[in-house]
Structure 1
Amino acid sequence: MAVPAPDRVAWRRFRKLWSATATSNLSDGVLLAATQLAALTLTRDPLAITAVTGFQYLPWLLVSIPMGTLADRVDRVFLLRVASACRAVGVGLLAVGLATDHLHIAMLYGLALLFGIAETPYDNAYCSPSAT
């Protein structure tokens, strides 16, 4: 009985998707810790520091279903790229704010909300097998 040859194109596409997803999820964890540490440098108020995490997870409550619908209706690869670009811009703004010492807790709240809003369509889009 002959064993079928592996589909090299499918494996290559799978490896690209898997590595992008692994990098994205690792970055999400690092970003969660980084925003907490940035908040700690700005204030010692425990409620203000905890609110940063709240703002990062708030989009899951508010826009998860609409973003899932959006992921079903648009090109998923395009949605993955746009979400990643938004997060990259947010990280750049965070880095510039920290480097120039112009970061305020309200700006950190906005960036945390941006990170959460960008993570929601990304996670909804990459779950589909047609995202490659």
Structure 2
Amino acid sequence: MKKSNALCHAYVSVRIIASLTAMSAAFGLFAAVPDRQDSRTRTFVTPTRVVWTSGDTVYGNRSVVKNAEWLLAPRFGQIPEERWRGVCGCAMENNGENPSVILDFGRELHGGLQIGSMGPRGMKMR
């Protein structure tokens, strides 16, 4: 099939579909389906306690976690909004070992976390 014939067939197909859609709307063949409420919602859940930090016992000072209790304070989101006041929230330092925090949310969850970083671009976070 030549290119011009293929374009002509595509144009005719689009016109037919557009005409059928317009006619079905005019005659009410497809009644508007009302929106349905979804029971799932997005909420930010505050952790109830800090279970463990890597700086506690395992790695000594090769892995430092500062201000982990800041993660327990209720906020609008997960990233501290006090940064403009000079407060940096929970800070993690890698001095030879990867810093870690285990949080207890008080219930079983699934979802994601928001992570804020003031470090260089390209940092690996797992």
Normalised by the shorter chain, which TM-score bucket?
Answer: under 0.3
Q: TM-score, normalised by structure 2?
A: 0.24
Higher strand share: 2
Bigger Rg, which one: 2
Higher helix share: 1
Q: TM-score, normalised by structure 1?
A: 0.23
Q: Which has the higher contact order (CA 8 A, sep 6+)?
A: 1
